[in-house]
A and B are shown apart, each in its own frame.
Chain A
Amino acid sequence: VRKPRNVGRAAIPRRDVPPNFGVPPPEPADPPPEVADPPPEPSKTPPEPADPPPGPGNTPSRPAGTAKVGKAVGKAVRLERAHTELIGSLEDDRPVFVDPSGLRRRRLRWLAYVLALLLVIALALVWWSQLGGTSSKPPNVNQCTATAQAGCSR
């Protein structure tokens, strides 16, 4: 929502913006940027390094003058009065995924420990059963019950 007092009267700042600010660039119809002459360099305006750059804390010097401009041509305000607006918060939002309590992390860690332990035990059992076994034929259960055969007590 623009304030009506800015319409129709433009305060021309002295240095802060290029002199043709607010009006269409000098080239009338779409110039192909590659072949066009370099645009007038903003830095060619007489630099006055002694002046601090405009900022929230600095009050720039008074306007050099005023010019009457039509409604449709353009409008400009002094830099510090420029129409700006805060969009988006400057507060910290809670980051996605982050669990400040650490509960999820603790649970996952324990789950990982338990799973890893189980897997390692399973792996060890498999290796033990393969390398620790005897290559002889297992004893016949009937013979084992009848006589105390070698290997039955395994």
Chain B
Amino acid sequence: MTVYHSAQPSEPEMPSGQIPAIRRRRSVVRVLLVVILIALLLNVLLVKAYTSQGHGSDGLKDSDATDDSVPAVVRDGGPVLDPHDGRPHSYRMPARTVALTFDDGPDPTWTPKILAVLRKYHVQATFFMIGSEVARHPGLARQVAGDGHEIGAHTFTHPELADISGWRRDLEYLQTQQALVYATGKSTSLLRPPYSSLPDAIDRDGWKTIQDASRRGYVTVLNDLDSRDWARPGVANIVKGATPEGTAGAIVLMHDAGGDRAETVASLDRLIPQLKQRGYQFKTVSAALGGAVPANDPVRPSDRWGGRSLVWTVQVADATWDILWLILIVVGALTLARTVLMFFVALGHARRRRKRSWGPPVTGPVSIIVPAYNEAETISAAVNSLATSAHHPVEVIVVDDASSDGTADIVEALHRANVRVVRVPPGGKAKALNAGTALSRFDLVVMVDADTVVEPDSIHRLVQPFADPSVGAVAGNVKVGNRRTLIGRWQHIEYVIGFNLDRRMYDAFGCIPTIPGALGAFRREALRDVGGLSTETLAEDTDLTMAIHRAGWRVVFQDSARARTEAPSTVSQLWAQRYRWSYGTMQAMWKHRHALVERGPSGRFGRRGLPFIAAFTVVLPLLAPFMDVVAAYSAIFLNRWETLLGWLAILLVQTITAILAFRLDHEPLRPLWALPLQQFTYRQVMYLVLLQSTGTALTGRLLHWQKIRRTGEVTMTTG
């Protein structure tokens, strides 16, 4: 398929050194914008990864390695530690006093339920919240504070404090504080280190971090009784674990987040009345100690700004991630649905085609139009294959669009009686085709690219559907001729799957979007109805096909009419070709958008075909980069094996589809080994091209065209 370059004498090619300064500066700015966008996305994803680290439950660490550096007074002392002034201070709950503490919250499901129970018994407790969760649910933290409970810090992301470096620890404290200050307007002095348990389990590193926290103004709050509710041992066991002996006071560890906390809620309903009956009081940690330690202090409003930016960042990151997931799910579901649909529709289509013929054989004369611009390499093979077609008679009209490499002379030197050369002034492919159509004499017009070689009976097969008077145009089956390179092989796979299988599906739904410029047949009447080809779009073939649909003609796909075309052999040529296709398809769809609201065949095509085409040629491929982003993120931060498994599943579905397509097309399966590799460069090139053409469409820039370099590799001997 030709990337057809219209000679534009007014636009001389400029080497990059001669690009005017203003254009160079703008392209630098454009690159800068892209870099900013990528940096933002990366930043957001990193924030998401940072705030979503999974963690185990508290109270797991039972280190009995006693260490001399931990003072005995601390190890044997109470659970509230405030080692200021270099001297260890520890506090214990007074007799008949229980401080209920809840870790890991706030949680939108369980925190309100626990608050309701506490409210029922008029009990105050202490909540040690994870900063990132506070940033996600600031309203919950506000509600907890509003109910008169005390709030302590449980770090921002729940790491083992002794294992992380000093600056990360500082960041953990700061961000938790910021989130709490933003949510409640108060700071906190209470800190419960993650994975902490009883005072006698403090090891050397733990003692160091406690001292360090104290220097920053924090009082460390451990516990006396671990209810072990995180393990869900049953309500009775939780109550048993949380009940102090005799009249001893206790800090009781429970959780209001991190899983199903129904047992915790139920056990509170039993524990509180039981202890109250025994004469116990329920107090917050600082209230129980009678003001020996500070708790929640109001701060200046200006101190809330840091928290505000933090909360917004976390929420933006969460929202971005949610959107990415939504896209992933929608795209995944649509792609899967499309694949399954394509699978069965294509099978049915192939079966119907085998059974049904179009009617009496079409043997009328055919005009073949070959637009050519600098096609010296390939033109003689193309014209010879057309002029010696099995269909009889044919006239071949080569429209030479002001070639500079003697294309027309080469054709004339062939001396074929049924081949004519028409030289037209430079004007582009659409105008060349219009001129060729005007000078052709027969009612059936076949358009073939100059780099395309047809099989001897292709033209005959291609025009057979015209036996049905409602058929206005027929698409041929275009194949890649140069398959020896990897890029050629990829395109071969893409042509067979994408164009062939897709086109079968579109055909079954009566909305083929494109009759390939490489091989297509038209009824002159249909061409006349739509006023020929227009230069409004770069994909004049798609534009023409849509116009023919709208004029009420049927457009069908004839897979037995095969042609081999020379596909781009370098990435930059491929880029240019796909740029033209995707941009041109968008142009054509936009041009024919009114079909959506029209009546009759035009409206039928508009409502049935256009949304379908738009979804599968523009929207889905445009969302493809997000799939890669999510895949990369999951591979790095989430489960690597699950990601690989998902990827392999997608590959399996693709392979099955590919095998079906190759079988339907009677192609050997060997080139399919390149299919997995396609995922890593080809796919990305495809969606980047689409992104670029979307940008061009939005900005309304004018495009200039490059012709692809020919190698003249395609001959009919292959395959």
Residues of A within 8 A of B (CB): 15-18, 20-22, 24-25, 29-30, 33-34, 36, 38-43, 45, 47, 49, 53-56, 82-90, 92-100, 102, 104-105, 108-109, 112-113, 116, 119-120, 123, 125-126, 129-130, 133-144
Q: From residue A82, how far is it (CB to closest CB) to chain B in Å?
A: 4
Q: Could you tell me if A95 and B699 are in contact, using CB atoms closer than 8 angstroms?
A: no
Known A-B contacts A96-B537, A112-B33, A135-B171; the reply to A36 vs B441 at CB < 8 A is: no
Q: From residue B216, how far is it (CB to closest CB) to chain A in Å?
A: 5
Q: From residue A46, how far is it (CB to closest CB) to chain B in Å?
A: 9
Q: Could you tell me if B298 and A141 are in contact, using CB atoms closer than 8 angstroms?
A: yes
Task: Show 26 A/B contacts (Cβ-Cβ < 8 Å), sorted by A.
Answer: A33-B461, A42-B387, A53-B420, A54-B420, A84-B438, A86-B438, A88-B437, A88-B534, A89-B531, A89-B532, A90-B427, A90-B431, A92-B427, A95-B537, A102-B700, A104-B698, A120-B36, A126-B309, A130-B175, A135-B169, A135-B170, A135-B173, A135-B216, A139-B300, A140-B294, A142-B298
Q: Could you tell me if A133 and B363 are in contact, using CB atoms closer than 8 angstroms?
A: no
Q: Could you tell me if A88 and B36 are in contact, using CB atoms closer than 8 angstroms?
A: no
Interface residues contributed by chain B, number (CB under 8 Å) = 93
Docked complex Cα distance between A142 and B186 (Å): 11
Known A-B contacts A20-B393, A83-B441; the reply to A137 vs B216 at CB < 8 A is: yes
Q: Could you tell me if A108 and B298 are in contact, using CB atoms closer than 8 angstroms?
A: no
**Which residue of chain A lies nearest to B389 when distances are taken between CB atoms in the complex?**
A39
Known A-B contacts A33-B456, A43-B417, A137-B217; the reply to A97 vs B586 at CB < 8 A is: yes
Q: From residue B219, how far is it (CB to closest CB) to chain A in Å?
A: 10
Q: Tell me which residues across on chain A come within 8 A of B188, comparing CB atoms.
A: 137
- Of the residues B171, B392, B702, contact of A25 by C-beta under 8 Å: B392
- Of the residues A24, A33, A136, contact of B217 by C-beta under 8 Å: A136
Q: From residue B411, how far is it (CB to closest CB) to chain A in Å?
A: 9
Q: Could you tell me if A87 and B461 are in contact, using CB atoms closer than 8 angstroms?
A: no
Q: Could you tell me if B457 and A33 are in contact, using CB atoms closer than 8 angstroms?
A: yes
Docked complex Cα distance between A89 and B524 (Å): 15
Q: Could you tell me if B393 and A97 are in contact, using CB atoms closer than 8 angstroms?
A: no
Residues of B within 8 A of A (CB): 26, 29, 32-33, 36-37, 39-40, 43, 169-171, 173-175, 177-178, 181, 187-189, 216-218, 294, 297-300, 303, 305-306, 309-310, 312-313, 360-361, 363, 365, 387-388, 390-393, 395, 412, 415-418, 420-422, 427, 430-431, 434-435, 437-441, 456-457, 460-461, 524, 527-528, 531-538, 583, 586-588, 590-591, 696-702
Q: From residue A80, how far is it (CB to closest CB) to chain B in Å?
A: 10
Q: From residue A59, how far is it (CB to closest CB) to chain B in Å?
A: 15
Known A-B contacts A88-B437, A88-B527, A105-B700; the reply to A43 vs B298 at CB < 8 A is: no
**Which residue of chain A lies nearest to B412 when distances are taken between CB atoms in the complex?**
A53
Q: Could you tell me if B393 and A82 are in contact, using CB atoms closer than 8 angstroms?
A: no
Q: Could you tell me if A138 and B422 are in contact, using CB atoms closer than 8 angstroms?
A: no
Shortest Cβ-Cβ A-B pairs, 9 listed: A88-B532, A99-B700, A33-B457, A135-B170, A30-B361, A137-B217, A140-B297, A96-B587, A105-B699
Q: Could you tell me if A96 and B590 are in contact, using CB atoms closer than 8 angstroms?
A: yes
Q: From residue A16, how far is it (CB to closest CB) to chain B in Å?
A: 7
The A contact surface, by secondary structure, is loop
Q: Could you tell me if B309 and A17 are in contact, using CB atoms closer than 8 angstroms?
A: no
Q: Tell me which residues across on chain B come within 8 A of A29, comparing CB atoms.
A: 361
Docked complex Cα distance between A52 and B591 (Å): 43
Q: Could you tell me if A137 and B365 are in contact, using CB atoms closer than 8 angstroms?
A: no
Q: From residue B148, how far is it (CB to closest CB) to chain A in Å?
A: 19
Q: Could you tell me if A95 and B536 are in contact, using CB atoms closer than 8 angstroms?
A: yes
Q: Could you tell me if B441 and A82 are in contact, using CB atoms closer than 8 angstroms?
A: yes
Q: Could you tell me if A42 and B460 are in contact, using CB atoms closer than 8 angstroms?
A: no
- Of the residues A17, A96, A100, A142, contact of B591 by C-beta under 8 Å: A96
Extra pairs beyond A42-B387, A43-B387 (11, CB < 8 Å): A30-B360, A33-B391, A38-B390, A40-B392, A90-B434, A92-B535, A104-B700, A130-B309, A133-B306, A136-B217, A141-B297
Q: Tell me which residues across on chain A come within 8 A of B534, comparing CB atoms.
A: 88-89, 93
Q: Which of the listed residues A29, A134, A140 has the most CB atoms from chain B within 10 Å of its own CB?
A: A140
Q: Could you tell me if B700 and A135 are in contact, using CB atoms closer than 8 angstroms?
A: no
Q: Could you tell me if A135 and B174 are in contact, using CB atoms closer than 8 angstroms?
A: yes
Q: Could you tell me if B532 and A25 are in contact, using CB atoms closer than 8 angstroms?
A: no
Q: Tell me which residues across on chain B come within 8 A of A102, comparing CB atoms.
A: 700
Docked complex Cα distance between A20 and B583 (Å): 45
Docked complex Cα distance between A94 and B609 (Å): 25
Q: Tell me which residues across on chain B come within 8 A of A144, comparing CB atoms.
A: 300
- Of the residues A85, A109, A130, contact of B310 by C-beta under 8 Å: A130
Q: Tell me which residues across on chain A come within 8 A of B218, comparing CB atoms.
A: 137
Q: From residue A64, how far is it (CB to closest CB) to chain B in Å?
A: 14
Q: Could you tell me if A45 and B417 are in contact, using CB atoms closer than 8 angstroms?
A: yes
**Which residue of chain A lies nearest to B699 when distances are taken between CB atoms in the complex?**
A105
Q: From residue A131, how far is it (CB to closest CB) to chain B in Å?
A: 8
Q: Could you tell me if B299 and A138 are in contact, using CB atoms closer than 8 angstroms?
A: yes
Docked complex Cα distance between A132 and B570 (Å): 50
Q: Could you tell me if A87 and B177 are in contact, using CB atoms closer than 8 angstroms?
A: no
Q: From residue A25, how far is it (CB to closest CB) to chain B in Å?
A: 4
Docked complex Cα distance between A133 and B173 (Å): 11
Known A-B contacts A95-B702, A112-B33, A142-B298; the reply to A87 vs B527 at CB < 8 A is: yes
Q: Could you tell me if B306 and A30 are in contact, using CB atoms closer than 8 angstroms?
A: no
Q: Could you tell me if B441 and A30 are in contact, using CB atoms closer than 8 angstroms?
A: no
Q: Could you tell me if A21 and B297 are in contact, using CB atoms closer than 8 angstroms?
A: no
Q: Tell me which residues across on chain B come within 8 A of A143, comparing CB atoms.
A: 297
Q: From residue B24, how far is it (CB to closest CB) to chain A in Å?
A: 15
Q: Which of the listed residues A36, A84, A129 has the most CB atoms from chain B within 10 Å of its own CB?
A: A129
Q: Could you tell me if A87 and B528 are in contact, using CB atoms closer than 8 angstroms?
A: yes
Q: Could you tell me if B700 and A18 are in contact, using CB atoms closer than 8 angstroms?
A: no
Q: Could you tell me if A15 and B591 are in contact, using CB atoms closer than 8 angstroms?
A: no
Docked complex Cα distance between A16 and B416 (Å): 9
Docked complex Cα distance between A95 and B587 (Å): 8
**Which residue of chain B lies nearest to A120 when distances are taken between CB atoms in the complex?**
B36
Q: Could you tell me if A17 and B395 are in contact, using CB atoms closer than 8 angstroms?
A: yes
Docked complex Cα distance between A67 and B132 (Å): 95
- Of the residues A39, A98, A105, A113, contact of B390 by C-beta under 8 Å: A39
Docked complex Cα distance between A134 and B524 (Å): 79
Q: Tell me which residues across on chain A come within 8 A of B416, comparing CB atoms.
A: 42-43
Q: Could you tell me if B393 and A18 are in contact, using CB atoms closer than 8 angstroms?
A: yes
Q: Could you tell me if A88 and B533 are in contact, using CB atoms closer than 8 angstroms?
A: yes
Q: Could you tell me if B297 and A116 are in contact, using CB atoms closer than 8 angstroms?
A: no
Q: From residue B30, how far is it (CB to closest CB) to chain A in Å?
A: 9
Docked complex Cα distance between A24 and B393 (Å): 9
**Which residue of chain B lies nearest to A135 when distances are taken between CB atoms in the complex?**
B170
Q: Could you tell me if A39 and B43 are in contact, using CB atoms closer than 8 angstroms?
A: no
Q: Could you tell me if B434 and A116 are in contact, using CB atoms closer than 8 angstroms?
A: no
**Which residue of chain B lies nearest to A29 when distances are taken between CB atoms in the complex?**
B361
Docked complex Cα distance between A87 and B440 (Å): 11
Q: Could you tell me if A43 and B415 are in contact, using CB atoms closer than 8 angstroms?
A: yes
Q: From residue B394, how far is it (CB to closest CB) to chain A in Å?
A: 8
Q: Could you tell me if B390 and A18 are in contact, using CB atoms closer than 8 angstroms?
A: no
Q: Could you tell me if A15 and B417 are in contact, using CB atoms closer than 8 angstroms?
A: yes
Q: Could you tell me if B33 and A137 are in contact, using CB atoms closer than 8 angstroms?
A: no
Q: From residue A28, how far is it (CB to closest CB) to chain B in Å?
A: 10
Q: Tell me which residues across on chain A come within 8 A of B535, comparing CB atoms.
A: 92-93, 95
Q: Could you tell me if B174 and A133 are in contact, using CB atoms closer than 8 angstroms?
A: yes
Q: Tell me which residues across on chain B come within 8 A of A88, comparing CB atoms.
A: 430, 434, 437, 527, 531-534
Docked complex Cα distance between A83 and B442 (Å): 9
Docked complex Cα distance between A88 and B198 (Å): 88
Q: Which of the listed residues A42, A55, A125 has the most CB atoms from chain B within 10 Å of its own CB?
A: A42
Docked complex Cα distance between A43 and B33 (Å): 60
Q: From residue A76, how far is it (CB to closest CB) to chain B in Å?
A: 9
Q: From residue B718, how far is it (CB to closest CB) to chain A in Å?
A: 18
Q: From residue A39, how far is it (CB to closest CB) to chain B in Å?
A: 4
Docked complex Cα distance between A92 and B6 (Å): 12
